[in-house]
Each structure stands twice: as C-alpha cells, then as structure tokens.
Amino acid sequence: MERVGNKTVRSGLGWSVEVPSIHEVKYFEGNKSLTLEIEGGRDKSGIHWYIYQPSVWVWDGNADNPLLDDKEIQSVKKRIREALPVLDMTIKEFTQQKAPPDRR
C-alpha cells in the first residue's frame, strides 16, 4: 500500500481508500466506488474513528447496482481497516448505530 498525499491510500491490487472529509471515507475498486459515513471520537488513548455501515451495501451512483455480497463486504471492511492506519487514523469500530457509543 502507498500513501498518496494526506487523504488517500492506494493498493497495488487496484483498490484505494480516500478520506475526503472528516465525515466520509470512500473505497474505490476499478471504476466502482462506495461511500461510508465516519465520525471521530476521543478517549484516553486518543482520537479514533467510527465507520457507519449502510443498511444496504451497494456501489455508489446507481440504485440498480447489484448489492455487495457478504464476501465483498468483508473484503471492503478489511481493506479500509488496513488503509486508514496508513493515514494515521485508528478505527474504533464499524457500527450500524447513528451515534457512536459512549466517548469517554
């Protein structure tokens, strides 16, 4: 994996992860993309990130796109988990909650 600037990690396998703002992370694979909402939190160990999982995993841009299957979802999550630390971002958890758990 290669860090490209302050916001992007590119893999030699053809996928990349970009954090265009403190509110979202984008995963790219070939000509497809997937956008997930993120939110930062702080505890005694420092700043960490919650990544909100969509209720339906589908590629961006077209509601008719096929849903991602479980294997694809796990692959995307694994790649995001690997990429964000390259950008000095610690993932606290992937969550379906709208608000992160207690931030203490």
Structure tokens at 18: 């970009």
Residue 101 domain flag: no
45 in any annotated domain: yes
| pLDDT value, residue 100 | 45
At 97 the pLDDT is 56
Rounded average pLDDT over 62-75: 86
As a whole number, mean pLDDT of residues 37-59 equals 87
Output the CA–CA distances (angstroms, integers) from residue 82 to 2, 44, 90, in the order listed.
Answer: 11, 23, 10
Whether 104 is covered by a domain: the verdict is no
Q: What is the pLDDT of residue 104?
A: 40
- From 25, 83, 16, select the one nearest 50 (Cα to Cα): 25
Domain with 77 in it: 2-95
Residue 91 in any domain: the answer is yes
Q: Is the pLDDT of residue 99 over 70?
A: no
| Domain membership flag for residue 47 | yes
How many structural domains does the chain have? 1
What pTM value is reported for the model?
Answer: 0.85
Q: Does the pLDDT of residue 93 top 70, yes or no? A: yes
